[in-house]
């Protein structure tokens, strides 16, 4: 039985490895290769230019601005999204005031809330972005009209047309459209935490906040970490909202420029696909650094239950 084992495994692995090499690895290698060329994307003729594209990238103000925006997105969007997701999920599952026969339960109407939270998730990001574009419209958009209606017209803003606010407006949309997914994900995680833990905590007199930080969060840590990486990747992209919603697009005074969109403009507007792949390689590096940091930071002892 034993000596056929490796051949058996190799046989099983060969096909996926080949597919992976062709469709995943080779584009990576090609992209790195093209980042050393002056390829325009408009014709098949190009030549090697060495590190010229990288030199350009290091001295390009707009690229660094885009990186900066991505870093802000990376810090703010996952934090807010996951924070809200955890809070809502906790309230839906264990935040209730314990009705009869159940020591641990969600707040009243939690089933309905779950559906409402999840709703944005079923909308395509294109639709969400378009809807919010109308919402942010400074003349007759919902926000300014509301402010006007309640007599707070002094608070009216240009929203997406104001370089100071534009990026924050985008972040609000990204949070809005993603939070529902994490409510559901964390709810699923929480429901697998044994009820007796909560009951024991209640008997010991722990309040909600204490229960959350001492029981829920530690037992949910793996899920949170996965969510963090996933949200981080969404934050590193942000292409669709920038493309659909912002002035330019790219924002007034480049205030919403992100790496993903910069790749797009370099390829499809400027005919500089070589430089675009260089930005792509830079994005890959940033993503890898991010993933390494998060997995390192998140490493902690596993709890058995």
Partner 1 sequence: MGSTSDVGRRDLIKRSAALGLITVPAMSALSACASGGDDDSKKVDKGKKSAKNPLAVNESAALDVVIFDGGFGQQYAKDAEAEYAAAFPKTKGKVKHAATQKIQTVLQPRFNGGTPPDLVDNSGAEQMDMGTLVAKNQLTDLTPLLDAPSLDDPKKTVRETLRPGVVEMGQFDGKPVWILYYAYTVYGVWYSKSNLAKLDVEYPETWDDMLKVCEKAKKKGIAGWTYPGKYPYYLPFSLYPFIAKIGGRDVLDSIDNLEPNAWKHPAVKAAFEAYYELYKKGYILKGTPGLTHIESQTAWNQGKALFIPNGSWVENEAKKTTPKDFQMAVAAPSSLDKSDKLPFGTLWASGGEPFIVPKSAKNPEGGMELLRIMLGEKSTKNFIKQVSSLSSLNGGTEGLSLPPGLASAQEALTKAGKNVVNPRMQDWYVTLQKQQIGVGALGEMMAGRMTPAETIKKCQKFADDTAKDDAVKKYKHV
For residue 71, which of 239, 257, 297, 235 has the smallest C-alpha distance?
235
Binding range to partner 1, per CB under 8 A, among 8-16, 90-98, 199-207, 253-261? 253-261
Cβ(215)–Cβ(197) under 8 Å? yes
Rounded Cα–Cα distance for residues 242 and 235 (Å): 12
Site mask for partner 1 (CB under 8 A), range 279-298, x = bound:
-xx-xx--xx--x---x---
CA distances to 20, 220, 264, 269, 275 from 41, rounded to whole Å, are 25, 46, 12, 10, 10
# binding residues, partner 1 (CB under 8 A): 69
Tell me if 271 contacts partner 1 by CB under 8 A. yes
Tell me if 139 contacts partner 1 by CB under 8 A. yes
How near is the Cβ of 269 to partner 1 at its closest, in Å? Answer: 6
Q: Applying CB under 8 A, which of residues 24, 112, 150, 203 lies at the interface with partner 1?
A: 24
For residue 94, which of 219, 6, 2 has the smallest C-alpha distance?
219
Which residues 199-238 are close enough to bind partner 1 by CB under 8 A?
A: 222, 225-226, 229-230, 233, 236-237
Binding range to partner 1, per CB under 8 A, among 3-11, 36-44, 94-102, 116-124? 36-44
Cβ(178)–Cβ(234) under 8 Å? yes
How near is the Cβ of 83 to partner 1 at its closest, in Å? Answer: 20
DSSP string, 163-200: TTTHHHHHHHHHHHHHHHHHHHHHHHHHHTS-HHHHHH
205 conformational bin, left if phi > 0, alpha if psi -120 to 50, beta if neither: left
Which residues 79-118 are close enough to bind partner 1 by CB under 8 A?
A: none
Nearer residue to partner 1 within complex by CB, 95 or 171: 171
- In the complex, which residues of this chain contact partner 1 (CB under 8 A)? 23-24, 27-28, 30-31, 34, 38-46, 56, 136-139, 144, 158-163, 192, 194, 222, 225-226, 229-230, 233, 236-237, 247-248, 250, 252-254, 260, 263, 265, 267-273, 275-277, 280-281, 283-284, 287-288, 291, 295, 302-305
């Amino acid at each position: 039985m034993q000596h056929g084992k490796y051949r058996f495994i190799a046989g099983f692995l060969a096909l996926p490895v080949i597919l992976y090499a062709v469709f995943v690895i080779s584009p990576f290698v090609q992209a790195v290769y093209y980042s050393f060329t002056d390829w325009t994307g408009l014709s098949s003729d190009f030549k090697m230019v060495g590190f010229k594209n990288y030199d350009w990238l290091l001295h390009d103000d707009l690229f660094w601005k885009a990186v900066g925006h991505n870093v802000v997105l990376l810090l703010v969007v996952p934090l807010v999204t996951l924070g809200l997701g955890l809070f809502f999920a906790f309230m839906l599952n264990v935040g209730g005031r314990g009705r009869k026969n159940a020591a641990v339960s969600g707040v009243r109407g939690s089933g309905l809330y779950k559906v409402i939270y999840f709703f944005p998730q079923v909308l395509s990001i294109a639709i969400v972005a378009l809807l919010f574009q109308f919402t942010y419209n400074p003349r007759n958009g919902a926000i300014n009209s509301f402010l006007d209606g309640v007599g707070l017209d002094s608070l009216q803003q240009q929203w997406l047309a104001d370089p100071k606010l534009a990026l924050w407006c985008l972040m609000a949309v990204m949070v809005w459209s993603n939070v529902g997914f994490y409510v559901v994900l964390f709810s699923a995680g929480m429901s697998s935490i044994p009820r007796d833990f909560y009951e024991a905590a209640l008997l010991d007199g722990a309040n909600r906040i204490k229960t959350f930080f001492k029981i829920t969060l530690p037992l949910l840590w793996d899920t949170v970490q996965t969510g963090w990486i996933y949200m981080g990747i969404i934050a590193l992209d942000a292409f669709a909202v920038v493309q659909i919603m912002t002035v330019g697009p790219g924002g007034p005074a480049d205030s919403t420029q992100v790496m993903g969109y910069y790749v797009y403009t370099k390829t499809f507007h400027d005919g500089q696909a070589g430089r675009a792949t260089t930005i792509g390689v830079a994005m890959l590096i940033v993503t890898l650094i991010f993933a390494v940091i998060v997995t390192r930071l998140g490493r902690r002892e596993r709890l058995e239950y």
